[in-house]
Chains A and B, each alone.
Chain A
Amino acid sequence: MAAQNLIETSDLTKQYGKNICVSHLNMQVPEGAIYGFLGPNGAGKSTTLKMLLGLARPTNGSITLFGIPVNEKNRVRLLTDTGSLIESPSYYGHLTGEENLCIIQTLKNCPKEDIDKVLHIVRLEEARHKQVNHYSLGMKQRLGLAAALLGFPRLLILDEPTNGLDPAGIQEMRELIRTLPSDYGMTVVVSSHLLSEIDQMADHAGIISRGRLVYQNTLEALHSHARQQIALRTSHLPVALDILRQNGIEAAVEEDYLLIPMTDDACVAHLCRQLISQNLSLYRVEKREKSLEDIFLSLTGKEHSL
């Protein structure tokens, strides 16, 4: 293993009654990554994150954080190194933002100066003495993030952190999250149902659909799926495949088409000449484009679309 995985789940399953919420999930989050956890609403994202935090018990399978198995015995030790924001932010409305942070700071046993630092990071310094009941939704969300950042834990778990933020706030939150690994050495798991959002923040992605992890790799690898391709249709598919291979090109077969990676005009012309010279009829040469959205939808199923 090249990089150590900070989170690893094996065969993780959660069942509520007959309803299987999370099914045989093998999640791997490398240290220092920003792991985008992507899936339509109700796919099992929150349930998975809750199991990571020990808020829900797996029906089956196991989890390790920092190489330590998640169980009752290690719970307190693991939570010390973890910050989280799940679903909606938690807060005591009759207290001020600073008092809310003070409660968590005391429980996490981190220095008092951290409160100033995180308030600065989420830019709530001016509202620190205001009761949280009077905060806007976006401010509450930022307070939730500040609470998660307290103690600058090794692992940060954020469930839909941009909920309720305005466009400027969303942009700000994304930029902030992007800097966390380099500035504080954190590993971040961030869930979202928006592909574009994950695309802008994350370097790793896991896509979950109906409780199953249907994709997991670097975001780069996901992008490579999205590249443009040339689709060819000829009279004799296996022969054409051979010819392409002789030219050093691996083609994928999809229905009657051969798909090859996007290449320049000269190369396409050369390939076409080769095919024709072997007595094949060339019916179609098309440019195909597959967007990230297409991939996402094909992975998660159209009926679950956003």
Chain B
Amino acid sequence: MKTLKMEFYKIKRRKTGLTLGAMTAVQFLWCVWAFRGPDEYERLQGWLGTLYSMPLLNSIMMPTIMAVLASRLADIEHKGNTYKQLRTLRNAGTLFNAKVLCGLLFILMMYAAQLLFLILLGHSLHYEGRPDMGLYLRYLFLSIACTFALYLLQLTLSMLFFNQMIPLVTGLCGSMLGLILMYLYNWNLRSLFPWGGYIATMFVGADWNPQTRIMTYYLMETSENGLLSHGFIFLWAAVFYITGRWLFTRREA
């Protein structure tokens, strides 16, 4: 707990929150733009439609946002050469956990802001009815898990390499994969990638009718493969946590 507090103390004046806030704001702006001017039919299914679009947006942006967050949290130690000093104060495992928790708190704040924003946006666009909180919580839970797994990966890379180019490029490649995997319909392979988790666990589908140019959203049944992809998210998180922690503690000071 103390180590975690120390972690937040260290990023004082580093404007990490602001950085994340700005990137989340970009995502919000994207939403405002994408959801603008709904017609009657779209209003009717607005709440459901949001749950279709958000995983796609997260899939593109979150890998890079996580790379930026992890790099900012890790880079203070590289820049100040404080790693050795910290190792004398706390054991490496505790240090790693503190960084992990610190990042997790930021992720939780981001998604809390996202939920608030989506509800406000929905109301301001006069979506029909009320949002199904059960579905929204399910979306949040899955997205947070997936984002957290990516954060763990990025944190490990950022801590291990002095050259921050490596983790950042990994993040970019992740964003790219996340984007491209969207186009691979019915391809279960996408749940194999940690960056594909957002899409693989989507539970709202859409039907596009080229004649009427109308999009219809519907709730998808979770198939066996779907359940498997849920499992993969947690598998990835566990794998990244264990290897990250192992690599970090094993490192010579």
Interface residues, chain A, with chain B CB atoms under 8 Å away = 93-94, 133
B30 interfacial by beta-carbon distance below 8 Å: no
For the complex of A and B, the 4 pairs showing the least CB-CB separation, nearest first, are A93-B162, A94-B163, A94-B162, A133-B162
A133 to B163, CA, bound (A): 13
How many residue-residue contacts, CB under 8 A, span A and B? 4
User: For residue B163, which residue of chain A has the nearest CB?
Assistant: A94
A93 to B163, CA, bound (A): 11
Residue pairs across A and B with Cβ atoms less than 8 A apart, 4 shown, are A93-B162, A94-B162, A94-B163, A133-B162
The total of chain B residues at the interface (CB under 8 A) is: 2
Chain B residues positioned under 8 Å from A94 (CB to CB): 162-163
Interface residues, chain B, with chain A CB atoms under 8 Å away = 162-163
Chain A residues positioned under 8 Å from B163 (CB to CB): 94
User: For residue A133, which residue of chain B has the nearest CB?
Assistant: B162
Q: Is the interface of B mostly helix, strand, loop or mixed?
A: loop
A133 to B162, CA, bound (A): 11
Task: Give the distance to chain A from B137, nearest Cβ to Cβ, in Å.
Answer: 47
Task: Give the distance to chain A from B117, nearest Cβ to Cβ, in Å.
Answer: 40
Task: Give the distance to chain A from B84, nearest Cβ to Cβ, in Å.
Answer: 12
Chain A residues positioned under 8 Å from B162 (CB to CB): 93-94, 133
A239 to B162, CA, bound (A): 76
A93 to B79, CA, bound (A): 12
A94 to B78, CA, bound (A): 14
User: For residue B162, which residue of chain A has the nearest CB?
Assistant: A93
Chain B residues positioned under 8 Å from A93 (CB to CB): 162
A94 to B164, CA, bound (A): 13
Task: Give the distance to chain B from A163, nearest Cβ to Cβ, in Å.
Answer: 15
User: For residue A93, which residue of chain B has the nearest CB?
Assistant: B162
Task: Give the distance to chain B from A141, nearest Cβ to Cβ, in Å.
Answer: 15
A94 to B166, CA, bound (A): 14
Chain B residues positioned under 8 Å from A133 (CB to CB): 162
Task: Give the distance to chain A from B203, nearest Cβ to Cβ, in Å.
Answer: 47
Task: Give the distance to chain B from A123, nearest Cβ to Cβ, in Å.
Answer: 25
A94 to B165, CA, bound (A): 14
Task: Give the distance to chain A from B53, nearest Cβ to Cβ, in Å.
Answer: 43
Task: Give the distance to chain A from B85, nearest Cβ to Cβ, in Å.
Answer: 14
Task: Give the distance to chain B from A115, nearest Cβ to Cβ, in Å.
Answer: 26
Task: Give the distance to chain A from B83, nearest Cβ to Cβ, in Å.
Answer: 13
Task: Give the distance to chain B from A287, nearest Cβ to Cβ, in Å.
Answer: 50
Task: Give the distance to chain A from B44, nearest Cβ to Cβ, in Å.
Answer: 59
A140 to B49, CA, bound (A): 60
A93 to B162, CA, bound (A): 10
Task: Give the distance to chain A from B166, nearest Cβ to Cβ, in Å.
Answer: 12
A93 to B161, CA, bound (A): 13
Task: Give the distance to chain B from A35, nearest Cβ to Cβ, in Å.
Answer: 32
Task: Give the distance to chain B from A283, nearest Cβ to Cβ, in Å.
Answer: 59
A142 to B162, CA, bound (A): 23
A133 to B78, CA, bound (A): 12
A226 to B162, CA, bound (A): 52
A99 to B245, CA, bound (A): 35
A266 to B30, CA, bound (A): 98
Task: Give the distance to chain A from B119, nearest Cβ to Cβ, in Å.
Answer: 46
A93 to B81, CA, bound (A): 13
Task: Give the distance to chain B from A203, nearest Cβ to Cβ, in Å.
Answer: 37
Task: Give the distance to chain B from A95, nearest Cβ to Cβ, in Å.
Answer: 13
Task: Give the distance to chain A from B134, nearest Cβ to Cβ, in Å.
Answer: 52
Task: Give the distance to chain B from A86, nearest Cβ to Cβ, in Å.
Answer: 18
A83 to B163, CA, bound (A): 29
A117 to B163, CA, bound (A): 32
